Structure 1
Amino acid sequence: MRNPPIVVFHHSQSRGGKVAQEILKGFAGGTLLVDGHGGYDPLADPKKTAKPWTLAFCWTHWRRRFVKFSQDTPSPICDEMIARIAQLYAIEKEIRGRDPAARVTVRQKFSKPIVEALRPWLEGCLQDLSSSNELSTHIRYGLKRWDGMTRFLEDGRLEMDTNGVENAIRPIPLTRKNALFAGSTDGAKTWARIASLIGTCRLNGVNPEAYIAATLRKILDQHMQSDIAALMPWNFRE
């Protein structure tokens, strides 16, 4: 399989930007779809990275801010913002699974006008709000990251959000709670490796239990180390 989907979990005692740089060492010049965590910013800074990355930002994280605000304080601005984002997601639903070129074509025709109209409308809303208003902060969150927020319009490989990542992460807190933590740093690193294999199995439509059992048998049967690629989840056949 060419460019199979992969999940990689990495254990660290910090969320600092240096951790992301260590993980991505040896890779450069690509696009990272991320949330608004500031630790990713140095990766896109040519003063701090020899070959800077391009950052694309998550619309779901931005949308959540308006949803949460409107739950406590009803707001026509929030309602309108949520409705406009819903229009974008309706388009995404129609093109899910299509090739990148087709996705870009549809986004340029239907999504781009919605996005282009969004910015001046939000800037107008800011003029009517106090700078100390919490809603102003939520609006500026996306406007500050505008280039990254709109990057999906030009790149059909990108999703609008990091929902796929969040879905892959969801089992981790549940397992942590049930197991009462990893026990040690080494235990957490081992857990991360196993979780990476299981998550990659799921992304590739492979039964994790069957994969792990079969792979362990092959290792015991002295599978050739030079052919390690054959043991990857996307090459597994029951």
Structure 2
Amino acid sequence: MVSGALTYIRKLYAIEKKIRNGGYSPEQIYEIRQAKSKPVLDDFEKWLKKKRKQTLPKGLLGKAVAYTMNQWHRLIGYIEDGNLSIDNNMAENSIRPFVLGRKNWLFSGTPEGAEASALLYTLIEIAKAKNLEPWAYLQYIFDRLPLAVTLEDYEALLPGCNPIL
């Protein structure tokens, strides 16, 4: 039973790996997913419906199948937008160090200190996500922050908003 589900999941991730390595635009990704991922998802849904009838609803497998079917519309949402990822692994991986350090944040001293830590952490993670070297990015914004006056000045300091970054 589980190996059948994993077969479909492996196929979907193999398609995503080719997409990720192909340098496609969001529009192209949408088309590829409609052509390749959607048929796999359709087959997977049929398989789940069949397995739902063959498993006990109170058992672990029955609960897993029921949960998957109940969340189906969310599970397949990524194929409708080429900007979306098949999973949220990137987000989870970027917050993992923060979660692991959660007890350390208790010693920020004040709520303002905790907020400053969270802000700094956010800037570092955004820089990493934009393939910037975090230390150089922080130096860049701290050098220019005192000169910022308007909202546009502040927005220009964000990664991706400034051609220099």
Say whether the fold is shared (TM-score over 0.5): yes
Gaps of 5+ in 2: none
Q: 1:146 aligns with which of 65, 72, 89?
A: 72
* DSSP-derived class of the 1:143 partner: helix
Q: Hey, what's the Cα distance between the residues in 2 that align with 1:194 and 1:176? A: 15
Number of equivalences: 159
- Residue 191 (1) aligns with residue 122 (2): no
Alignment of 1:70-109 (within 5 A): 77-96=1-20, 97-109=23-35
Conserved 8 A contact 1:107-1:153: yes
Q: Hey, what's the Cα distance between the residues in 2 that align with 1:100 and 1:209? A: 31
Query: What whole-Å deviation, never above 9, does each CA across 1:160-210 have from its counterpart, x for those lacking one?
Result: 111111111112123335x36344543332222111101110011111111
Alignment of 1:161-180 (within 5 A): 161-176=87-102, 179=104
Conserved 8 A contact 2:127-2:133: yes
- TM-superposed deviation, 1:100: 1.1
Q: Hey, what's the Cα distance between the residues in 2 that align with 1:188 and 1:82? A: 42
> Could you say which structure has the greater relative contact order, defined with CA pairs below 8 angstroms and 6 or more residues apart?
1
Gaps of 5+ in 1: 1-76
Query: What whole-Å deviation, never above 9, does each CA across 1:22-70 have from its counterpart, x for those lacking one?
Result: xxxxxxxxxxxxxxxxxxxxxxxxxxxxxxxxxxxxxxxxxxxxxxxxx
2:45 maps to which residue? Answer: 119
C-alpha distance 217-209 of structure 1, shift in aligned 2 (>3 A): same
Over the residues paired in the alignment, what is the CA RMSD in angstroms?
1.9
TM-score, normalised to structure 2, is 0.86
Q: Hey, what's the Cα distance between the residues in 2 that align with 1:81 and 1:182? A: 45
- TM-superposed deviation, 1:236: 7.4
Q: Hey, what's the Cα distance between the residues in 1 that align with 2:159 and 2:83? A: 22
2:154 maps to which residue? Answer: 228
C-alpha distance 175-113 of structure 1, shift in aligned 2 (>3 A): same
Q: Hey, what's the Cα distance between the residues in 2 that align with 1:187 and 1:122? A: 49
Conserved 8 A contact 2:27-2:82: yes
Q: Hey, what's the Cα distance between the residues in 1 that align with 2:49 and 2:118? A: 43
Higher helix share: 2
Alignment of 1:203-214 (within 5 A): 203-214=129-140
